[in-house]
Chains A and B, each alone.
Chain A
């Protein structure tokens, strides 16, 4: 299919499948548990009478990031209904997101490992391939429209795919502090979500810019982790997009004694690293 495309690019479109390590395949139900606790308190019923199923366009959601990205509705159905009807309550996700376990209730929600950390493992490699190809097509068309050089490389990983534009030069698509790249990322994500009607998992990079940024973010996260362990003081990281946050959550989860959570709204949403009180 690359040959059908004009402009003489496509040659560099490899399907390099780089398998990431399969870190912690936990389902990420802390998010659902915290929603259930918050709703149980709000509805004044026992939490165990509620079976919370969070869906987005019919797809199960176990990850707060998804709700943040796609602010639609959350459906909640009681597990012990008095009759057959569903009584599904629709709650706007934004109102639910801060639902923390009410004070005094000792159902501590384990915030690492899952929560808004790990991605739910619901995406197949074929779906990632399909989305990455579509994103590459969109970006290729953009390069053509802007009369820019460059090739596209696709790296499909475990839970996301990277589409990198290489050789575009001069930072045209990166911009000051990466803001043009962020715009391109937003547009690709929005277009892919419209097309596939599921959360987008494509990360766009230009000439390794994001990879370099990710390295810096890892470095700062490591410093913050050490600071928390040394001083016990919570540390906040700079705003990041959802994929960056997930990678940082995973990094924090791989350390004993610290946990991470996200606060604030996109695009100013930030990770906070705190001591793990369960230790």
Chain B
């Protein structure tokens, strides 16, 4: 799944602990939710100031999902 691969790749570049990045795909009625778990010290990094990084991740993942005609969102687990 391209959306997941895109998220995985970018998040790895944002965090201090790439080995601790985990993504789970959960299907719901509206599409796919990518549940993103990172090292506790990295949660702030993937959210960003005023949620800006999280928003950018969602925008990118939505675009990648659209390539496969899928509605994909990201949920950051903390």
Selected contact of B56 from candidates A138, A142, A173, A186, CB within 8 Å:
A186
Query: Most A CB atoms within 10 A — which of B8, B9, B49?
Result: B9
Check if A179 sits within 8 Å of B53, measured CB to CB: no
- Count chain A residues whose beta carbon lies closer than 8 angstroms to a beta carbon of B: 25
Within 8 A of B (CB), among A63-110: 71
- Tell me which residues from 237 to 279 in chain A have a Cβ below 8 Å from any Cβ of chain B: 266-267
Interface SS, B side: helix
Known A-B contacts A142-B10, A180-B63, A191-B14; A71 and B49 likewise in contact (beta carbons under 8 Å)? yes
- Contact call B56/A187, Cβ cutoff below 8 A: yes
- Provide the bound-state CA to CA distance between A142 and B64, in Å: 10
Interface size on B, residues (CB 8 A): 23
A183 within 8 A of B: yes
Q: A148 to B9: give the CA distance in the assembly, Å.
A: 14
Would A187 and B57 count as touching, CB distance under 8 A? yes
The 10 closest A-B pairs by CB, nearest first: A183-B59, A145-B5, A191-B13, A183-B56, A186-B56, A145-B9, A180-B63, A145-B6, A183-B60, A146-B2
Quick one: which of A108-153 are within 8 Å of B by CB? Answer: 138, 141-142, 144-148
CA distance A148 to B66 in the complex (A): 13
Q: Are A175 and B59 in contact (CB under 8 A)?
A: yes
Within the complex, the shortest CB–CB distance from A91 to chain B, in Å, comes to 18
CA distance A254 to B63 in the complex (A): 39
Instruction: Evaluate contact between A145 and B2: CB separation under 8 angstroms.
Output: yes
Query: Is the C-beta of A190 less than 8 angstroms from some C-beta in chain B?
Result: yes
* Partner-A contacts on B (CB < 8 A): 2, 5-6, 8-10, 13-16, 45, 48-49, 52-53, 55-57, 59-60, 63-64, 67
In the bound complex, residues from chain A placing their C-beta under 8 Å from that of B56 are 182-184, 186-187, 190
Give bound CA distance, A147 to B3, whole Å: 10
Interface of A is mostly: helix
Docked CA distance A266–B49 (Å): 10
Residues of A contacting B16 in the complex (Cβ-Cβ under 8 angstroms):
194
10 contacts between A and B (CB under 8 A): A138-B9, A172-B63, A172-B67, A173-B63, A180-B63, A184-B60, A187-B57, A190-B45, A190-B48, A194-B13
Pairwise interchain contact B14-A147, C-beta atoms closer than 8 A = no
CA distance A123 to B49 in the complex (A): 25
Find chain B residues with CB under 8 A from A71 CB. Answer: 49
Question: Would A142 and B6 be within 8 Å (CB), given that A179-B59, A186-B53, A187-B14 are in contact?
Answer: yes
Residue A195 lies at the interface, judged by CB distance under 8 Å to chain B? yes
Give the complex CA separation of A194 and B53 in angstroms: 13
Query: Are A141 and B53 within 8 A (Cβ)?
Result: no
Asked if B14 and A194 make an inter-chain contact with CB atoms under 8 angstroms apart, the answer reads yes
Residue-wise interface mask of A (7-38) relative to B, using a CB-CB cutoff of 8 A (1 in contact, 0 not):
00000000000000000000000000000000
Shortest beta-carbon distance from A196 to chain B in Å: 12
Q: Which residue of A lies closest to B55 (CB)?
A: A183
CB-CB under 8 A from B5, the residues of chain A are: 145-146
In the complex, what's the smallest C-beta–C-beta distance from B44 to chain A, in angstroms? Answer: 11
Chain B residues, Cβ within 8 Å of A148? 67
A71-B49, A146-B64 as given contacts; A190 in contact with B9, CB under 8 Å: no
- CB-CB under 8 A from A187, the residues of chain B are 10, 13-14, 53, 56-57, 60
